[in-house]
Amino acid sequence: MVGRVLELRVHGVSNTPPGQILGLRPAPGADAPAPPWRVAGGPVTGFYRSPTAEPADPLVVEAYSWGRLTSGARTARDVERALWTLLLPFTLANVALHARPSVPADPATERWHSTSGITAWLIRLFCLSLTGTLALTLTAVGVDLVGWQCVDDDCLRRIPGPWQFLGRGWWSEGARSLAVGLLVPLGVLTLLGLVSWRTYQYEAQMPAEPVPPPDAPQPVGTPAHAPQPLGTPADRRERPEADPAAPDPPPGNPLQDRTFWTGEGQLRRGAVLHLCTGVVVAAAVPLGAVLALDPPRGGRAAVAWPTVSALAAVVLVAVVALARPGLTRRAGATPLGGWSVTVAVLTAVGLAGTVLVLLLPDGPAGTPLADLRPTPGCAGQVVAPACPTDRSLPGLDWIVAWLGTGQLLLLIAIGSVARSGRRALAAPAAAVLLLVLGFAWFTGWLPGPPPPAALEFWTVVVPIVALAASGLLLRRVPSPAGRPPPEPRSDLAWGGRAPAVVAGFGWMLCVSYSAGLLYWVTDRLNGGPAPGGRSPVVPPVPVLWAGLVFAGALLVLAATVARAGLLHLRLRRHEYARATARTDDPLSAHDLRRCRDVSTWRALHRLVGEHAVRLVGCYAAASAVLATLGCAALLSRSPPHPTVATGGAAVVEWVSEVGGRLLGWLPVLIATVGLLVYRNDLVRRSFGVVWDVGTFWPRTAHPLAPPSYAERAVPELQTRTAGLLALAEDDPRSVDGIILSGHSQGTVICAAVLLQLPARSRRRIWFFSYGCQFTRLYGRVFPGYFGPERLPVLAGALTPPGGGIRWTNFWRDTDPLGWPVAAGERNLAVRDPEALHPDDGEVADPPIRNHSGYPEAPEFHRERSRVAWLLRRGVPAPRRGAG
């Protein structure tokens, strides 16, 4: 019987159609190739073969298409997926957990007081604060802009729905309109919870074990009449193994954890904590304003203080639970548990108490909240006690300022601990203590002399944050002894601070989204500029600063892009000089033009591999300075410019207005780009890589992030691969071996599958990787999975007893995302283009394929023939050699 080998191809982020993956071409006289044949799976994720493939073919190519999990067909679902991009800040914060340099090989061994445990806890706290930012923004929209400031009939008429009753009668008295405004954050959080609940099916996917033959020992409890797969012969026998199955060694890579891709229970418990915390933040804003200005007495106090205790208990339980193994470890479809039920009950009690307090009339103590509410007609009046410049709900500005400052300090602590260990917590902890003491000093809570009149609190914030940032400059934790020497430019990204950098970009995007939403709602409620330049509804003062900081961030981004462009031009000139100097024969004008085209891609290859990480780090450092100055400005409680600005203040006002306008359209712009990502190949290859890299990782830190496609793709590939290798030898579907062939992001999926497969299956698999990003990107940003200490584990999993590493990596010097991988058996450089000019009667120039078309290269065909011959013969692979 002729042996058969299957090449199973897995595409990358561009969602290559199955027919293109298989290399199908139109028949003579036909306009399009015949559609591929789906042999397994469904319309969303499926396995396809050529319609001309025969069972007796010695080499069969099969394509696994997973792209519709993130970028389906041009249907209405594309709009739904485009809306997922609005949760991109949650995605980046979730990715930060997997960027820790000190991820333990076995997640069960992680302790909360270890470096990795403390970093994970801080990242989860930061993710919880992002949920609080979303809830606070929605509360500012519903409670502040609508329920507090929008008191004119003209303003209320601009809100869709019958909301005019909020401006008059019983609902306009006291804080009752604020209770109605809570419907906005509660409604969005409920919708977000329902969407998250619908996506639990991804985390519920589990690989299926191959069905044993009838004469094999059955597991305990398996009925004798258990159904067999369709088409399985009744008398099939298990294919004899070349050597007895050895037990799997201890895990050396977190991707070997059997529950890594099955975290349904963890996701449910985390979602309960995040949603309940969001409800607490939404309820705390109006409740805090009422209690601070009008302390309750009598029966009102009997409702208010138990409500405060219930809401505080929810936050305390959430902070503690984020460090407990029950939430931090994945264990399949586990129940919610007592903690989750307790948090849900306390949240319901606190929310009910908050609404009741808001509906009760004002008490006799303090300042009634209604006296501070802006009166109708403020837009046409001068500044007066009834029409202050800052008309936000009392206390809202402080909440926003302190939340932003706390998140900045959290990011500094995350980067410090991830780089230098637990000792680096001293600087951020000291900064937090000094910040609290400084605030108490300026507000008169501390005994002693008052601060100097010339000293402002915001001037104290900058050196305090600088003290916290000193933890980022401590020496990096030394590498363990015996670590293999790193390849060129494969060291840790940003000096081990990758979790803080990735989470920081998520924070910047979240703040931009929030400020943009508040700007957009404010403009719609105002209905255009008011007479005299005053508006009836104004956003909180911190939002005005956000527009100014965002404009500065755009300028820094433009400078970074310009720097990258100059580097690319310099590299292009260098590569062009090298290309034209490789031959002594004079080159024609056509060849010189082709050399310029090739040099452009080679320069881009070097720019991404040698400079991209450093450029991103420079932008992150500049953004951190802007964020520090922004937090100091927020704590100053003063607007960025006066109401009537002249001279330099007018320029600041103009820049702030431009930044605010851009912020207002930012969510729409991101959603539009998200829609184009799924419809336009160029946009997808440019921006979709960020999305697909982010949604590859499971939602272990932020449960409200978009679902991970790998939660479904990895189990399906694992089931398909192990099932084909377990077929009996006389089964017409059986194969002698499998070439697992991954392109770009597909190499990452294949690596996760290989580390999940048992050793008996891996012995008959060879790994092809091309367009691979293990060394220059994944290995640097995610060293806990693909760093110099983790890739040898993957190579060892592909090394059978007595043989060499069954891993071949293809790369091109014109591929911006593909580089050599020293851990593999062979590194084969693929020539691109094959020639500078046409030959053999062709009239078109050989294409520059850069990141695509690897299976069409002659080097790929030769290596596949060699590997297929080795897999059919079943002989050990040769020793490691030069590629």
State residue 215's pLDDT score: 47
**Rounded mean pLDDT of 502-531?**
85
Question: In the structure encoding, which two tokens stand for residue 403, read together?
Answer: 């939340």
| Angle (nearest 5°) at CA 763 between 760 and 765 | 120
Predicted confidence band at 67 (pLDDT cuts at 50, 70, 90)?
A: confident
Q: Which residue has the higher pLDDT, 641 or 842?
A: 842
Residues 6 or more apart whose Cβ sits within 8 Å of residue 362: 174, 175, 294, 368, 369, 370
Q: What is the dihedral of CA 807, 813, 819, 820, to 10 degrees?
A: 50
Predicted confidence band at 171 (pLDDT cuts at 50, 70, 90)?
A: confident
**Rounded mean pLDDT of 620-638?**
90
Give the neighbor-by-neighbor strand order of the sheet with 59-65: 37-41, 46-49, 59-65, 5-10, 737-743, 765-770, 807-811, 826-829
**Rounded mean pLDDT of 191-198?**
86
The model's pLDDT over 553-595, given as tens digits with 9 standing for 90+, comes to 999 999 999 999 999 999 999 999 998 887 777 888 888 999 9
| Range name among 204-218, 517-531, 832-846 with the lowest pLDDT average | 204-218
Half-sphere exposure (CA, 13 Å, Cβ side) for 81? 26
Phi, psi (degrees; rounded to nearest 5) at 318: -65, -45
Question: In the structure encoding, which two tokens stand for residue 186, read together?
Answer: 């509660």
Q: How many residues does the chain have?
A: 883
Most confident of 18-32, 243-257, 479-493: 18-32
Give the separation between CA 208 and CA 715, rounded to whole angstroms. Answer: 8
For residue 644, pLDDT beyond 70: no
Other Cβ atoms within 10 Å of 190 Cβ, number? 12
State residue 880's pLDDT score: 44
Note whether 279 and 311 are within 8 A (CB). no
Predicted confidence band at 881 (pLDDT cuts at 50, 70, 90)?
A: very low
State residue 71's pLDDT score: 60
Give the separation between CA 689 and CA 817, rounded to whole angstroms. Answer: 10
Any alpha helices (H) in 99-207, and if so which ranges? Answer: 115-139, 153-157, 176-181, 183-198, 200-203
Closest CA to 538 of 645, 388, 730: 388
Average pLDDT, the chain: 83
Q: What is the pTM of this model?
A: 0.90
Give the separation between CA 173 and CA 631, rounded to whole angstroms. Answer: 35
3-state secondary structure of 666: helix
Note whether 616 and 608 are within 8 A (CB). no
For residue 438, pLDDT beyond 70: yes
State residue 455's pLDDT score: 82
Percent of the chain whose predicted confidence (pLDDT) is above 70 = 84
Q: What share of the chain is helix, strand, coil (3-state, %, to 5)?
A: 55, 5, 40
Token look-up 């008059």 returns 168
State residue 387's pLDDT score: 64
State residue 84's pLDDT score: 76
Predicted confidence band at 137 (pLDDT cuts at 50, 70, 90)?
A: very high
Most confident of 197-206, 368-377, 574-583: 574-583
The model's pLDDT over 215-252, given as tens digits with 9 standing for 90+, comes to 444 444 444 433 343 333 333 334 444 444 455 567 88
State residue 427's pLDDT score: 93
3-state secondary structure of 364: coil
Residue 739 bridge partners (DSSP): 7, 766
Residues 6 or more apart whose Cβ sits within 8 Å of residue 565: none
3-state secondary structure of 428: helix
State residue 395's pLDDT score: 87
State residue 1's pLDDT score: 43
Predicted confidence band at 635 (pLDDT cuts at 50, 70, 90)?
A: confident
Q: Give Cα 387 to chain centroid, integer Å.
A: 43
Other Cβ atoms within 10 Å of 822 Cβ, number? 18
Residues 6 or more apart whose Cβ sits within 8 Å of residue 393: 143, 144, 148, 178, 285, 286, 289
Examine residue 185 and say whether the peptide bond preceding it is cis (omega within 30 degrees of 0): no
The model's pLDDT over 663-687, given as tens digits with 9 standing for 90+, comes to 878 877 777 766 666 566 666 666 6
State residue 393's pLDDT score: 86
Note whether 64 and 12 are within 8 A (CB). no
